[in-house]
Chains A and B, each alone.
Chain A
Amino acid sequence: MLISFKQEIYKFRHENIALYGLIILMVTMTYNFFTNPITRQSLGYGFGANELITLIVITVASAIFSMEYKNNTIIMLEYKTSSKFQIYFSKFLVVLVYSFLLTVIAFLFTLILSVIFNTGRYDWLAVHNGHTLLNGLLTNLAGALIYSFFSIGLSFMLIMLVKNNAVVVCFGIVLAFFGASFSKGLMQTFPHSFPKD
C-alpha cells in the first residue's frame, strides 16, 4: 500500500495538472478580487474558492485516472497489485492531500489579497452574526474540503464508467456551479422529504 502511494505521489509531482490547478485557482481568485465588489460575503467565500476547489479537484481526479487508461499503464498497476482497492485508494489519498493543500493556499491567498489591497476595511476578528469573518472563511473552506472528499470518489466512479475525461469535467462544472441550486430546488419541490430543523 505504501509503495503504491509513493508511486502515485511520484507521478503526481511530475504531472503538470497539479500545477495548472493551483495556477488557475490563484488567477481566478485574483480576477474575482479585482472585478467584483468586495463584500463580507465574497471574503467569507474566498473569492469563489469554494466552487473552484471542487471543480479543480474533480478535474484533477478524473485526469490522473484517465491518464492511466490512455497510456495503457493501468495494466501495469492492475497486475502488480492484488487489490484494485489499493490502486484507487492511493490515488484517492493523493488527490485528497492535494485538495487540502489547495484549501490552505486559498485561505492564505484570501488573507494576503485582502491585507495587501484592502487595508483593513473588514476586520477579520470582529464578531458579526455570531461568528467572526475568519471563522466564516475557515468553515467554508473546510466545507469545500469535505465536499472534495465525495467529489473525488464520484469523479473516479464516473471516469471508470465513461472513460472520457471531458464528460467528467463537464459534470464537475455543473456540480460545482449549479449543485447548490439544484439541491435547493429539490428541497423546495419536495419539502416533506427533508427533515425539518
Chain B
Amino acid sequence: MKTILGLMKFKGKIEVNGKNVSENDHHALTRVGALIEHPAIYPFLTGMQNLTLYAHDQKDMANLISELQMDSYINNKAKGYSLGMKQKLGIAIALLNQPQVVILDEPMNGLDIESTIRVRKLIKRYSDQGTAFLISSHILSELQKVMTRVVLISGGQIIFNKEVKEFEKISHQKYHLTTENNKLAKKIFAAYQITFTENENYLIVSQNDIYKIEDLLFNEGVHLKEILPLEANLERIVVDVLEKKRG
C-alpha cells in the first residue's frame, strides 16, 4: 500500500486512475485518501484542527464528523483520544474531499461494534457514489460484508483474484440439511439415489434435489430440523487457496 502511494522504491509500473505514480510524481494521488498503519494525527491539534488542515469543503468535513459520531470530542486535543477515537479520525481524514480511491489498512482496528457498523455503512455509501476502496484486513468476516472483489497475495504473487459475484454463483448450489434422524435420512437418500456428503452433524446435498428430499422425508415421516443454503465462506476459501498453493 505504501508503494502505491509512491512512498517506497519499486520496479515496474503503478497506475492510479490511468495516471502513473512514481516516487517523485504523486499527481495521480491528489484524489486518493489513505489510512496506513497508525492514524496520522497531530496530538497538539484538536480533531477538528487535524481535519481542517486537509479539508477543502467545510460541509463535507462536518458531515463526516456527524456520520462517525465524533461531535462530542472533536474539539478536544487529539492527545487525549482513545484508540477508537483516533482510528475514526484517521478514517475521516482518509475520506475527506470526496476521494476517488481510498486505501485503508486495518480500518476496523480498535473500533467498537457500533463504530464498526457505521464505518461499514460509510464505506458502502462512498463506494455506491463511485469511490474505489482498497482494504487490507485480517478480519475476514468484516471484509466479507463490504467487499466486491477479493485479491489474495502470497509470497509476492497474486494467487486469487475473483469478484464476489463469481463465488456467490458457486455457493447456493449446495444445501446443508439436518433432520431428526440423520441415519434414516441417509438410508432414504441411498435408496433413492440422492447424492450427499456428510459433515459432522449435518448432510450436504445438491440444490437440485431439495424439493425431492423434502417430499421423500415427509413421506417417510422424518422431520426436517434445518435446511440452509451453504454460503461461500471467505475464511474457508482463503485457507483452501493457501493450502493448494503450498501443495
A residues adjacent to B (C-beta < 8 A): 7, 10-11, 14-16, 67, 71-73, 75-76, 78-83
B residues adjacent to A (C-beta < 8 A): 2, 5-7, 24-27, 29-30, 32, 34, 36-45, 49, 52-54, 93
CA distance A83 to B42 in the complex (A): 22
Our pick among A10, A78, A82 for the contact of B25 (Cβ within 8 Å) is: A82
The smallest beta-carbon distance between B79 and chain A, in angstroms, is 10
Q: Which residues of the partner chain B approach A75 to less than 8 Å between Cβ atoms?
A: 2, 5, 7, 34, 36-37, 40
The smallest beta-carbon distance between A129 and chain B, in angstroms, is 47
The reply to whether B6 and A71 form a contact with Cβ atoms under 8 Å apart is no
Our pick among B7, B32, B41 for the contact of A73 (Cβ within 8 Å) is: B41
25 A-B contact pairs sorted by A residue (CB < 8 Å): A10-B52, A10-B53, A14-B42, A14-B45, A16-B44, A67-B42, A71-B41, A72-B38, A73-B40, A73-B41, A73-B42, A75-B7, A75-B37, A75-B40, A78-B5, A78-B6, A79-B6, A79-B26, A79-B29, A79-B34, A80-B29, A81-B26, A82-B26, A82-B27, A83-B24
The smallest beta-carbon distance between B14 and chain A, in angstroms, is 12
CA distance A83 to B23 in the complex (A): 9
The smallest beta-carbon distance between B96 and chain A, in angstroms, is 11
Extra inter-chain contacts (12) besides given A75-B40, A83-B24, CB under 8 Å:
A10-B49, A10-B53, A71-B42, A72-B37, A73-B41, A75-B5, A75-B37, A76-B54, A79-B34, A80-B29, A81-B26, A82-B25
CA distance A82 to B27 in the complex (A): 7
The smallest beta-carbon distance between A8 and chain B, in angstroms, is 10
Q: Which residues of the partner chain B approach A73 to less than 8 Å between Cβ atoms?
A: 40-42
Q: Which residues of the partner chain A approach B5 to less than 8 Å between Cβ atoms?
A: 75, 78-79
Q: Which residues of the partner chain B approach A82 to less than 8 Å between Cβ atoms?
A: 24-27
Q: Which residues of the partner chain A approach B45 to less than 8 Å between Cβ atoms?
A: 11, 14
CA distance A78 to B54 in the complex (A): 14
Q: Which residues of the partner chain A approach B34 to less than 8 Å between Cβ atoms?
A: 75-76, 79
CA distance A83 to B6 in the complex (A): 11
Q: Which residues of the partner chain A approach B6 to less than 8 Å between Cβ atoms?
A: 78-79
